[in-house]
A and B are shown apart, each in its own frame.
Chain A
Amino acid sequence: MHKNRFIVLVSSILGMLAFGCLPEKEVEIEIPPYDRQLVVECYMEVGKPFRLLVSESIGFFEPQDTPIIAGAEVVISHNGIHDTLPQGLFFDPEGLKIFNFASSEVVPADYTTQYSISVKYPDGRHVTGAAKIMPPVQLEPMTASFNADSNASVLVRWLDQPGQQNFYRLALFKGKVFDPNPDNENTQLLDFTLDDRIGDGEMFTVGTLFDYQSGDTIIAQLYHIDQPYWRYINSLDDAASSNGNPFAQPGVIRSTVSGGIGVFTGYLFTRDTLIIP
């Protein structure tokens, strides 16, 4: 977070020195041939069906087909069960998420079983992965504090489990978690990851700016995630923010699966809602 903020500030200084916007123009470069890879993103969310999106990566200057592909064989295994997921087009209305493989089976609240995934494509590409579902971490009730102008800041807290490495993802929303009307403003306020290296076993506190008024509804969702997924999210962020950032050293995407790109992970997020008094 600090690094990105710093980069923005550096860019503004450099831009200021250049007396205006930085000039740009289109150029041509040659890029080497690229072999497409399967991209598998499967988030096992307790209480929701097993489901995933299978796509493939595409070279920049290839014909731009749709990356979402059909014809793969997807099997999720656990406790001796091998569940072959049917192909289709599936929507999750909460967040308008799209999947092309989904099971009728629901992900159980089983935090000790090892789950595995196999995605085979007729041309021989084969992606595999394994993961356990991370147990949830409870949020403390959110609180609000007010400045002299009666604007509110919201505090979100949770207690870290001591003696183990924990990784978290926290998302904050205003009003509702998702508004399907595209004309309305995005309700998401914050979304970031953090780990407990600096406070093992301590109470974590995240606060907002004094941007809210009495009557506003603030919703917090805390995801207790595993380290491979934490690495994957951050490598995606780094890759995305490296494009157009002269100070970045781009890195590869750190997948949690082998044989392709992607993630196989599981969690149960916890949620707390505060109506600012």
Chain B
Amino acid sequence: MTRRLLTFLGFILLFSLATAQSTFTLSGKVRDAETGDPLAGAGVYAPGKKVGAYTDEKGNYSIQLPADTVTVVFTFTGYGTVKEVVTLTKNSNLDVKINETGSTMDDVVIEANSLEEKLNSTQMSANNLTIVEAKKIPALFGEVDIIKTLQLKPGVQSGGEGLSGLYVRGGGPDQNLFLVDNAPVYNPSHLFGLFSTFNGDAVKDVTLYKGGYPAQFGGKLSSVIDIGLREGNMKKFSGSGGIGLISSRLSLELPIIRDKVSLIVAGRRTYFDVFTRQLNIIKKDNPNYNPIPDYYFYDFNAKLTIKASPRDQINASFYGGRDKFRFNAGDFDFKLGWGNLAGVVDWSHAFNSKLLLKVMGTFSDYDYAFDNVFSQFKFKLSSGIQDFAGQTQLLWKPTDRHNIKSGIAYTHHAFAVGRFNASSEDNSVNFESGQNFTGNELGAYINDEFVAGKKLSINGGLRLSGWVGGDTSYFGLEPRASAKYSISDKVSIKAAYARMFQYVHMVSTSGASLPTDMWYPSGKVVRPQRSDQVAGGVSMLLGKQFLLSDEVYYKWMNRQVDFRDGAQIFFNDDLDGEFVFGKGWGYGNEIYLEKKRGPGKGLLDRLSGWVGYTLAWNWRQFAEINDGNKFHPRFDRRNDITVVLIEDLGKRLSVSATWVYGTGNAVTLPIAWMVSSDPVPGNDINIIPIYTERNSFRMPNYHRMDVGMVYNILPKWGESDITLSVYNAYSRRNAYFLYFDTETETLPGTGITTLTGFKVKQVSLFPIIPSLTWNFKF
């Protein structure tokens, strides 16, 4: 008891000492660097101290900061970001000029997310990436993919070779909330997951939350991927694009009214269908030639930014993307298409430097459809989900110590599940099946980022979520909390807890994430999923260029949804009966060493990147799967190592390398075989593999190195570079899947073949794949 009292008194004393630190006022004016005009509504923020404000109508700002060396960040919509490091020993004045958005300023954004900020941030279990960073890292087929770059962070895994799915801290790919400018995207992948749907030219940055989720986010259990789209240049017409191995892209930025209204449009399309069609034409007379199916994908982004007044800004963003696949052979015509649409209109209004209101409406649609003509019959199988949502958010800084965020959100979901339609030319066949559902998802939250003292900051929030639909309703309270305590100016410890509910479920038709996966609402049978996650960690600055962090976490997931073995997924008007329910849990340790580029010109100074190591366990348990015994999900990975190195070799050249190593995926393999004598004439005696325990085998361990090089051409008209990517540089034959093959021998003189045994074969996917991309910007 005495010890507890002393601890408590010590804490109070510490708190008092912390709050007794002297503070000074930093004030000044923010101006347009080109015109000198004052910028009203510009953000002024000291990330390490959790203090910030907006400039008034005359561009003036004033913030209270402790006596310390502090990084202050200045931002303004459509402009770049300026970072200033100030040492405060008295009340001080700092005037700042901000340039228009440009590549140079984008680079600054990366640097702005400094190691010191990460050390002092209350937010833990989060990773931020800018597109500039992603562009320096080698990519499969040269397609810059910010989502795949996230897979290189600790605690994040891919579903398989080359795939863009994310498996975060033991969660499935359906448990990630992808937001594009706050609009959800349900299937963020092209080409069966090989590429993400996000065009690098349209994306500004992405933040991944693996835990410690801020209260404004809800609806998915395992992660939030918050993707910000770029705003158009407010000053001049500009553009960028590139020509790559499999696709080309172009983005244009247009100041419709200088300094008031800008528009950015960006598009991308693949073109291997152009070549395969020609090949099919050339070889059409060859009877042994199997035509290659037509396939392409495209995506399109647009964002309109309107500065309606010094206090008001309106953004309208749109995303559309689609994959199209077609195979036509005589009277068999098979078409498969899937795609997303998402749109956002948001208005933000600054009442004053302490109060900001955001109102937004979003729309999202995902659908897939098989469209099949078979002789005189037509079949169509489709599924989809459509959202209309509205939300408001209030940001309030009553004092320099509090940053309060509150809001309400409403989403109307409409689901089409397994819609099947069949008809024939003579109308002898005409029927349809499938289910339509609607549901309403609600959320209300409040969150306070509270600076309790120089050493302690707390981020506490509460979210109330709910679901009304399917003749039932559910409500959930989701507490969120994280805290940071600075042991010294080089070391901080952090802890976080978060509860999440998920009311919309993805039901997978396979073990992998495919476009045919369906979204399904909560109802009387399928209840909302729930997760609880605790995390703790320590961050440590090593010199000025290294940050070492270590996080441990434990996550519990209830009411997990899966299909029972042999479930009838299609042509079924009562899918509720095909589900089984269970639980999942995972725990692990993530170690992350990050290196930022230094100011000098030495090799070490020019080096940036990170090394990550994750040790983790993931489990699932369902009463009706695996005889009720717990099992590892396929993506369970005991050891995971990533190394990312980027070396800037001057203005013209940068080189990079990544190396990944991971324990092989957990897979189900047969352990025995039997013969089956089918009664239908013409069916031979078959050898049937017998599977027992789920995912009790491991694929061989995975490792791969990619290397890249960016050579800047430096033309007079803008910027241009040649990017070389070499995927799987040492051509490691990683296992894509394993299978059992029979060994046979033919009895001499009889022609009779007998079974002598079995062997296991490993199939690999990608060997070494070099690619060149030409990029430009004007």
Residues of A within 8 A of B (CB): 2-3, 5-7, 9-10, 12-14, 16-18, 22-29, 31-32, 34, 36-37, 39, 41, 43, 45, 53, 55-61, 64, 67-68, 94-95, 97-99, 145, 147, 153, 155, 157, 169, 171, 173, 177-178, 186-188, 191, 195, 197-199, 202-203, 205, 207-210, 221, 223, 231, 234-236, 238-240, 242-254, 261
Contact = CB atoms under 8 A, between A and B. Distances in A.
Contacts of A25: 733, 761-762, 764
A141 to B, nearest CB: 13
B677 A197 contact: no
A31 B671 contact: yes
B194 to A, nearest CB: 7
Nearest to A145: B376
Contact of A27 (B293, B672, B738): B738
B737 A234 contact: no
Contact of B689 (A29, A234, A240): A240
A68 B510 CA distance: 34
Contact of A18 (B420, B669, B766): B766
Contacts of A147: 331
A31 to B, nearest CB: 5
B691 interface: yes
Contact of A14 (B192, B738, B759): B192
Given A240-B688, A252-B692, A197 B572 contact: yes
Interface of B: 160, 191-192, 194, 272, 276, 292-293, 295, 325, 327, 330-332, 334, 336, 370, 374-377, 381, 420, 424, 426, 428-429, 431, 433, 509-512, 514, 516, 565-566, 568-573, 668-677, 679-683, 685-686, 688-692, 697, 700, 733, 735-740, 755-767
18 contacts: A9-B325, A12-B293, A16-B276, A23-B733, A29-B738, A45-B679, A58-B673, A60-B758, A95-B680, A98-B677, A145-B376, A173-B681, A177-B681, A197-B572, A231-B566, A238-B565, A253-B688, A261-B674
A151 to B, nearest CB: 8
A240 B681 contact: no
B732 to A, nearest CB: 11
Given A13-B192, A188-B681, A246-B512, 15 more contacts: A3-B509, A14-B192, A22-B764, A23-B767, A26-B760, A31-B669, A58-B672, A177-B681, A197-B433, A197-B571, A198-B573, A207-B374, A207-B376, A231-B566, A254-B566
B706 to A, nearest CB: 16
A244 B739 contact: yes
A225 to B, nearest CB: 10
Contact of B433 (A5, A28, A198): A198
Given A60-B670, A202-B431, A197 B568 contact: yes
A67 B160 contact: no
Contacts of B511: 247-249
A276 to B, nearest CB: 14
B670 A239 contact: yes
A41 B673 contact: no
B547 to A, nearest CB: 38
A43 B426 contact: no
A243 B740 contact: yes
Nearest to A45: B679
Contacts of A53: 675, 677
B565 A251 contact: yes
A37 B231 CA distance: 66
B679 A97 contact: yes
Contact of B674 (A18, A43, A67, A197): A67
Nearest to B191: A13
Contacts of B376: 145, 153, 207
A63 B763 CA distance: 26
B375 A249 contact: no
Contacts of B429: 205, 207
